[in-house]
Amino acid sequence: MRNRFDGGDVVTLRDVARRAGVSTSTVSHVLNGTRPVSEELRRRVLDAMHELGYEPNAVARSLKVNRSNTIGLIISDISNPFFTAVVRGVEDVAQARGYTVILCNSDEDVAKETTYLKVLRSKRVDGLILAPAGRPHEYLRNLVKADFPLVFLDRDIEGLGVAAVLLDNEGAARQAVRHLVDLGHRRIGMITGRPSISTTTERLAGYLAALREAGLPVDERLIVSGGSSIEGGRAAANALLDLDPRPTAIFSANNLMTIGALVAIDARGLSIPEDIALVGFDDFPWSGVLRPRLTTVAQPTYELGRMAAEVLLRRLAGSRSEPPERVVLPGKLTVRESCGARPEVRQGAW
């Protein structure tokens, strides 16, 4: 473990010990917590480190104490505002408990996710929080088999038996679509996300459940994938708007696709909600100031991140549960202007 004086001289553990008037083993015990040291000696060592500008080598230290006090966090799309508050929730809890978070972005790419998992393991992170990019892969399966501390965030992978912090996606989507039904809409299109992720199948299940409960038929043409992206949402909305008859309402299953749908609707000169109603999944910070104000399913994003960190830290502290701990949080339908009833409904025709 070596550092440099401002003048360029190398600072060693021995230099710290000499300045503090203690043995090198005492300095090591202060750094690594491997043996109790009196408060007086501890203070002398810390003062000497500060005076010399000495910083311990974190990797070497982690090898000695078998912990790094770091957590790996892999999110699937750093451009998605949903993850901003999620990451803050993870970081706030981790920092308060003495952990540093290393953030990685998989770009919804399983190969990139695998690379980051390997990199984080090589850096000896104590545990991982992962928003899976999709299907299970060999390296992820091996982590689970090795019982490495791991928590899934936002998404799940069936069959792996990993601790997870999730949203009740099916219930939230059902509530949103049921609201449109209650407003009188009978032809409701849905823009779905990437087919390989659990949130997509769960939100689609909620859409279908709401239609069944209302006694409405399922028209497969009204279900179009938007790939969980802005451009995909635009293309999917255009496909729905090309139908004859077109839907009277659209339920968009994530915030980026909702932006794409807004672009498509605006490009056609259509008005929301007069010509077509729109309900999105994921609330935007600016949803309440757009015109019309967007009706959305709000997720407890900060809480999702906070709980994921809490679950992982419980595991790192030695707490185990069988089956692995699972936390499912509710969504909340925030009703604004974009879901307004069709003109016929306002006139009492429905």
Q: Residue 225: what residue type? A: S
What CATH topology corresponds to 70-167+301-330?
A: Rossmann fold (3.40.50)
Q: How far is CA 233 from the centre of its chain?
A: 20
Which residues are registered as beta bridge partners of 224?
A: 191
Residues of the chain with CATH 3.40.50.2300: 70-167+301-330, 169-299+333-346
- Nearest residue to 139 via CA among 167, 161, 157, 117: 117
pTM greater than the 0.85 cutoff: no
Three-state DSSP class for 40?
helix
Contact between 202 and 172 under an 8 Å Cβ cutoff? The reply is no
What CATH topology corresponds to 3-65?
A: 434 Repressor (Amino-terminal Domain) (1.10.260)
- Judge: domain 169-299+333-346, CATH 3.40.50.2300: yes
> In angstroms, rounded to a whole number, what is the distance separating the alpha carbons of residues 152 and 63?
26
> In angstroms, rounded to a whole number, what is the distance separating the alpha carbons of residues 257 and 193?
8
User: At CA 70, angle to CA 67 and CA 72, rounded to 5?
Assistant: 125
CB atoms within 10 A of CB 124: 14
The pLDDT score that the predictor gives to residue 10 is: 65
The pLDDT score that the predictor gives to residue 242 is: 98
The pLDDT score that the predictor gives to residue 156 is: 96
The pLDDT score that the predictor gives to residue 37 is: 83
Three-state DSSP class for 99?
coil
Where does 157-251 have alpha helices with state H?
169-182, 198-213, 230-241
> In angstroms, rounded to a whole number, what is the distance separating the alpha carbons of residues 105 and 77?
6
The pLDDT score that the predictor gives to residue 68 is: 79
Q: Which two tokens stand for residue 28?
A: 């090591």
Three-state DSSP class for 221?
helix
User: At CA 329, angle to CA 324 and CA 331, rounded to 5?
Assistant: 150
Mean pLDDT of the chain, nearest integer: 88
Residues of the chain with CATH 1.10.260.40: 3-65
The pLDDT score that the predictor gives to residue 13 is: 79
Contact between 186 and 166 under an 8 Å Cβ cutoff? The reply is no
CB atoms within 10 A of CB 96: 10
Q: What is the pLDDT along the chain (350 residues), one digit of tens a residue?
A: 444 444 445 678 788 889 999 898 888 777 766 678 888 888 898 888 888 887 666 555 544 545 679 999 999 999 888 999 999 999 999 999 999 999 999 999 999 999 999 999 988 999 999 999 988 899 999 999 999 999 999 999 989 999 999 999 999 999 999 999 999 999 999 999 999 899 999 999 999 999 999 999 999 999 999 999 999 999 999 999 999 999 999 999 999 999 999 999 999 999 999 999 999 999 877 777 778 899 999 999 999 999 999 999 999 988 777 789 999 999 999 999 999 844 333 333 32
User: Residue 39 to residues 30, 46, 51, 267, 329: CA-CA distances in angstroms?
Assistant: 10, 10, 18, 70, 45
Where does 21-146 have alpha helices with state H?
24-32, 39-52, 58-65, 82-96, 110-122, 138-145
